[in-house]
Amino acid sequence: MRVRTDDEVYRVDAVWLGPPRATFPWRARYVAWGVGLVVFLLVLAVERRMGIGFGFISTGWAVVITVALTQVICSRIGHERPLSAVLVMWLRELTAPRERSSGTGGAASAAQIRVRNHRPRPAETGRRRPERRQRARSGRGGRRDAVSSRRTRSKEVRGVRSPARP
């Protein structure tokens, strides 16, 4: 048993061959005639904006450009992808958000760096200095006992053992 699809219906193009008893030597779909008319008017408008006058040669070139552009456009459309879908797809491609290729901002300049006249000093805390002054006044701060004199500052890293000293 053979299953018939409806592809034959869509393969038939709505083609206008020309007036009766005087057909054109080429086949063109109805859509192609509409697209060609719009493209021809756009090509003429572009020629006028470029400063090309309306003459036989310029109009002939407009027809040649129109035929080429219409063939390109109509090769992209069909019964599965109509002209409206192609136009919507083209519009969405143009208006789609893009990834920015250039970074925002720029290199730092010397104008952005603040320079002070004096070197910054650490802020003095109010606790330590008065205690030292009080110790010096009482006489206890000037004397070191034997245990504290043996202690020296170590430059060792915490948690790492060093070899024993002789």
- Give the tens place of pLDDT for each residue, 97-152: 988 777 666 676 777 677 778 887 888 776 555 555 555 555 554 455 555 545 55
> Residue 121's pLDDT is what?
82
Residues 6+ apart with CB under 8 A from 69: 39, 43
> Residue 98's pLDDT is what?
85
Written as six digits, the tokens of 6 are: 């409806």
> Residue 79's pLDDT is what?
77
> Residue 36's pLDDT is what?
93
Q: Domain ranges in the chain?
A: 10-95
Of residues 22 and 17, more confidently modeled: 22
**What's the 3-state SS for 97-122?**
CCCCCCCCCCCCCHHHCCCCCCCCCC
> pLDDT category, 59, cuts 50, 70, 90?
very high
Of residues 31 and 101, more confidently modeled: 31
Q: Is 41 helix (H, G, I), strand (E, B) or coil?
A: helix
